[in-house]
């Protein structure tokens, strides 16, 4: 699996052998029978074509060029001896390209993939009429891989949004973008599958799969229906051999629109945290839980202190609906979770012990919540803990912060201090509170904690 990435140049020379092979192949396949029209047409009746739709749509798909300054690493600098003589830093300028879609011509907003503009120092947009405009980054969401740019709203064309919930497998689609730097390239296909998830591409995955040919440089381009309305933003391909094999993925338009509105309003996505880990309900799990239902997602873990725990959800609940959306698979859950923001009140329906139950989850301000240590393990009584992320130290990027330790508590007696960051529990890596709880359960005799304190690592054993 690979993201489409950005096209970083294309050779203008093609070997004669390749061209000849293609020509011969074309001749061989051309001999058996002349090409026939797809439908029977009366004399003088125009041929079916997508040209009128594309004439309206393609002007809204743009080429995005990014420029990034990167530091050149000299391998000699790894040696302290040479570092004394070669201590000057060297930089080089790199260029990459991708695609984008104008979705608001009056305000100049363009949607593209986050990875197309990531770490860019300068962004420019080339329109279908040849004009090149400087662009500013309004905001990006790496969890969904979307970004919004803005250019001067000067005679722009836009593409309207379709309702991607209305898509069906087999619907015809058209992909428009700039693969390998080739501007205004159009390919066609069908919707191959819906709700693709578990691909390991993004944090939230609910992809449209299509066999329309998509290649590097198509990132951020448009996937449209036969009316020319936007049904998705092309983002990734499955390429086991390095090239296109007819399996491409696009972010659904309904998700694009919601994330775009958040980025325009706040400059970031203020996503709420449900605090749920789930897996798909399958026949074996349905039998184990003694339920007749065969669709839904099973709650595997409820994070301590999360909105889900506060509302009363527990492990083993089968989620069947979030808001107005029925939850039949993990992709449905991921799609809804990606569109839940701070201060939202979320209605959730679950199946528990054969009975339907309804819950209201209140998503508060997106700050790490403090949890009493005894809720994780009785031996951690007297502490307050919270998830900790985005640590500047490159040796560690996640753990559990000990925000407070009560005097004379067991944890304090064995050496745990406020400000410690727990990164291991009983030799198990800890990235969050759920990991810490799992690690503590590995031993009833003691909790061996590896902590990070004042730039150094150490161990604390609590018995």
Instruction: State CA 142 to chain mean position distance.
Output: 6
- Distance (Å, rounded) from C-alpha 62 to C-alpha 46? 30
DSSP H or E segment with residue 333: helix 330-338
Among 99, 140, 219, 335, the one annotated catalytic:
219
Indicate if 140 belongs to the active site. Answer: no
Nearest to 65 by CA among 7, 147, 151: 7
Among 6, 114, 115, 164, the one annotated catalytic:
115
What does the DSSP assignment read for 209-256? EE-S---TT-TT-EEE-TTS-EEEEEEEE--TTSS--S-EEEEEHHHH
The structure tokens 């001749």 sit at 27
DSSP state of 59: G
Nearest to 158 by CA among 79, 239, 224: 224
| Sign of the torsion formed by the C-alpha atoms of 337, 275, 201 and 331 | negative
Decide: helix, strand or coil at residue 383: strand
Indicate if 145 belongs to the active site. Answer: yes
The structure tokens 């900790």 sit at 388
DSSP state of 359: E
The tokens for 5 are 């990435």
Among 141, 145, 420, 435, the one annotated catalytic:
145
- Distance (Å, rounded) from C-alpha 430 to C-alpha 441? 13
Indicate if 219 belongs to the active site. Answer: yes
**End-to-end Cα distance, the chain:** 46
Which residues face 77 on adjacent strands?
A: none
Nearest to 350 by CA among 379, 323, 321: 321
Burial tier of 423 (Cβ tally within 10 Å: 0-12, 13-18, 19+): buried
Backbone angles phi, psi at 238, to 5 degrees: -95, 115
**Cβ atoms within 10 Å, residue 295:** 15
- Distance (Å, rounded) from C-alpha 100 to C-alpha 418? 47
Could you list the active site residues?
115, 145, 219
């Amino acid at each position: 699996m690979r993201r489409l990435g950005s096209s970083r140049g294309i050779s203008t020379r093609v070997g004669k052998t390749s061209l000849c092979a293609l020509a011969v192949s074309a001749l061989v396949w051309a001999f058996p029978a002349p090409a026939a029209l797809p439908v029977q047409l009366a004399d003088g009746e125009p041929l079916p074509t997508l040209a009128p739709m594309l004439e309206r749509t393609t002007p809204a798909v743009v080429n995005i060029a990014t420029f990034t300054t990167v530091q050149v690493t000299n391998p000699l600098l790894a040696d302290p001896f040479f570092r004394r003589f070669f201590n000057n830093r060297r930089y080089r300028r790199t260029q990459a390209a991708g695609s984008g879609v104008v979705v608001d011509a009056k305000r100049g907003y363009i949607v593209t993939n986050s990875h197309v503009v990531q770490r860019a120092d300068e962004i420019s947009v080339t329109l279908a009429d040849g004009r090149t405009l400087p662009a500013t980054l309004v905001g990006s969401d790496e969890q969904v891989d979307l970004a919004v740019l803005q250019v001067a709203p000067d005679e722009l064309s836009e593409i309207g949004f379709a309702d991607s919930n209305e898509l069906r497998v087999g619907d015809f689609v058209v992909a428009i973008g700039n693969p390998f730097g080739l501007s205004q390239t159009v390919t066609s296909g069908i919707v191959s599958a819906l709700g693709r998830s578990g691909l390991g591409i993004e944090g939230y995955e609910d992809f449209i799969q299509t066999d329309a040919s998509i290649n590097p440089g198509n990132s951020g381009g448009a996937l449209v229906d036969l009316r020319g309305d936007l049904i998705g933003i092309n983002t990734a391909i499955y390429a086991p051999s390095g090239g296109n094999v007819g399996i491409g993925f696009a972010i659904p338009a309904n998700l694009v629109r919601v994330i775009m509105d958040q980025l325009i309003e706040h400059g970031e996505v203020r996503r709420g945290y449900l605090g749920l880990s789930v897996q798909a309900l399958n026949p074996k799990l349905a039998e184990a839980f003694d339920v007749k239902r065969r669709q839904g997602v099973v709650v595997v873990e409820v994070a301590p202190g999360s909105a889900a725990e506060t509302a009363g959800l527990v492990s083993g609940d089968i989620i069947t609906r979030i808001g107005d959306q029925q939850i039949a698979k993990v992709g449905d859950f991921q799609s809804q979770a990606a569109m839940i923001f701070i201060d939202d009140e979320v209605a959730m329906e679950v199946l528990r012990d054969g009975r339907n139950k309804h819950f209201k989850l209140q998503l508060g301000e997106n700050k790490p919540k403090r949890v009493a240590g005894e809720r994780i393990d009785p031996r951690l009584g007297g502490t307050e803990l919270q998830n900790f992320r985005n640590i500047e130290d490159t040796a560690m990027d996640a753990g559990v912060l000990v925000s407070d330790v009560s005097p004379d508590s067991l944890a304090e007696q064995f050496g745990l201090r406020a400000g410690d960051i727990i990164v291991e529990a009983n030799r198990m890596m800890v990235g969050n509170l759920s990991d810490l709880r799992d690690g503590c359960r590995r031993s009833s005799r003691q909790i061996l904690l590896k902590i990070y304190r004042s730039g150094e690592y150490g161990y604390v054993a609590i018995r």
